[in-house]
Structure 1
C-alpha cells in the first residue's frame, strides 16, 4: 500500500493548480481521480493541461454531486471552496452566503463517502477565521469533527515562495483513528505557519473538537522582487501610451507620487505593481511599497486587475499584467495558456491556489501522514 499512488479528489478544482502541486510532491505519486467545478471555462483550462480530465473532471454544481458519483479508494480530498462571502473585500455573509456556503455541500458529499478520505485539505482566506466573530470557522470545524476528523489549522502567505502577498488559511483534517504518531495534542508553538491567531483557534477548540498539530519546518524566506516572474519580452503594444501613463501618475496621492519619483530617479530599473482603488468616490492608483505583487484577484472589473510599473533611470512605463505573469506568480511557470480568453485566464489564476504552497504542505504534511515510509525515503 505504501508504494501505491495516493488517490485524490479535487473539489472546486478550478484550473487545476492543486493537482499541479500534488503531482510535484516527492516520494509518492498523487493521482487525481475525480475533480469538479461549476465553470466550463475552468474545465477547459484544466483539460488543456491535463488531457485525462475528460475521464474524471465533472462540470457540475456541487449541489448536484452525490457521494456515489465519486470513485472508490479516495485517500485525500481537497476543497478550495469559494471565498467571496468570507473575504474582507466581499459581502461577509459567511457560510450562509450563496458562494462560501458551498462548504456545507462539500461536507454533505464527504459524509456520504464510504470509506471517507483519510485526509482532507481545505483552503480559504484569513477572513474565514473572523467571519461572524469566528462562528463560521467554529461551525465548519465542528462539522468536520462530527465526520470523524481531527483538525489542524495553518496560515501561510505565498510570499514565502513567490513574490506575491497572498495570505491563506488551511484546515487539515485527519481521520481520528488514523492520526500518526507525530501528531501532538494541545496548542502548537508559535511559528510562521501558526501565528498567534492560529494558536487561539487551537486553544479555543482543542477540548471540544479534537485538535492536533504536526511539527513543520520553517517556511522559506521567498523572493523579494519580481525578477524571473515578469515577461520582459512582452509585446511593446501592451504598454500604455504617454497620456495614459501621465493620468496614472496624476492619480497618485502625494505620498504615492513621492515614492514613484524616487523610483524614477534611481540608477536601476525596477518593477512595481499597482491597484486602482476608489478613495472618497474618486478612482486612484496605489503603488506597492515593496517590490512584490499584491494579492492577485479574480478579474471581475478594472479595479481588480493589477498593473505592472517599470520605472527607473528617468524612464517610466505602465501596463496591465499578463496571464503568463499571473501564472508565474501562482507558481505555475509551465502552465499552458491554451484555453479561454485572456480575461478568463486572469480570472482562473486569481481564483486559484499557489502551487508552491500546496506542494510544501504536500511534502511536509500530507505525504508523512499518508505515505510515511515514502516520506522517510525522501529524506
Structure 2
C-alpha cells in the first residue's frame, strides 16, 4: 500500500517548519543565516536566538520574545510576526488535518476553525480589504508548498465527482470501493476534499488497511447522516464516529476550498490542502494527479475539471499526457455529452491513447492501469 512520503523529507533544506527542525539545525550548524523559519513558536527559544547568527534569515509568523525579535532584526533578518485575531495561520508549514479543521465540533460546526475561516473569507472579500487579500495569497502559497513536499515521489491518482452523491447510495459505496482499490494498489488518492463522491473516495483510501467488513460497516454508520444539509454538524459527527472506531486509517489527500465554503471538507482525507482561491485549488489538484484522473458522474464542476485536465494533455504542456478515465457511459454521452467532445479533441494526438470511457466504476482501476502502460 502507498506510504506517504514523510513530511519535510523533500523540502528546501533551508526551510524550518517545526521546533524539532529548529533545534536540530541550531545544534548541527550553529547558524540560522539564510534560513526560512515558518510558523514555528520560538517563545521558548530566546537563548538560542540570542546566541545564533540569523543574518539574512526570514521568520514567517514565528512568535518570539521582544529581545529575541530585536536581536534577529539587528542581525539583518526579516521578521513577519503572527497576524492577531485570524482564524487560520497564513504562514503554516504543513497541511491541515481533519481534527484541526473540525476542532470544537461537539459544540456545533459553526464554531470550528473551518467555519470561522469561511466567515472571515466572506467578510473580508466583501470589504475588498487588500491586506486580507494578501494574507489569503500567502496562505494558499504556503499550502501549495506543503502539498508539494508531501507528495514528492508519490504516484497520485485524482478522483473527481459531484458533492451531491449521498451516503447510503450504491454510487457512494462504489466510489468508496474505488478509493480502497486504488490505495491498495500503491497509489495516493487525491480528491477535491468535499462531500459526496470526494468523501467516498477518501473513505475508501482510509479503509484500505482494514478488512473488507470495515468498509461495509462504515457505510452503514455514515448512512444515518446521508448529506451535509441540513446539518453539517451531524454529517461530520458521523464521520468522526467512524474514525474513532477505526483510528488507524490509510492516507489520502483532500484539496477543498473556502470559495465553496458552504460545502465542508470531509474527515477521511488524512491530509487536507484547503485553499481560499478555487482556481489555484483546481489547477493544483489536477497538475499533481500524475498517475491519472478518474471522473465519476458529476455536474458543472466535474465537466470543468475534465477539460481543465484535457487542456494540458492536449498541448502536452506538462509532458506526457496523463490517463483520464470517465465512469458511466450514459452520464457522459447522454446526460452531459462530454465524452464525444473529449474524443474529438484527442483524435490523432498522443492523448488519444490515454483516455477511456467505462460503464461501471469497478472497471476504472483496470482502465487506469491499461492507459498508464
Q: Structure 1 length normalisation: TM-score? A: 0.28
Identify which of structures 1 and 2 has the higher relative contact order when contacts are C-alpha pairs closer than 8 Å and 6+ apart: 1
> More helix per residue: 1 or 2?
2
What TM-score do the two structures reach when normalised by structure 2? 0.28
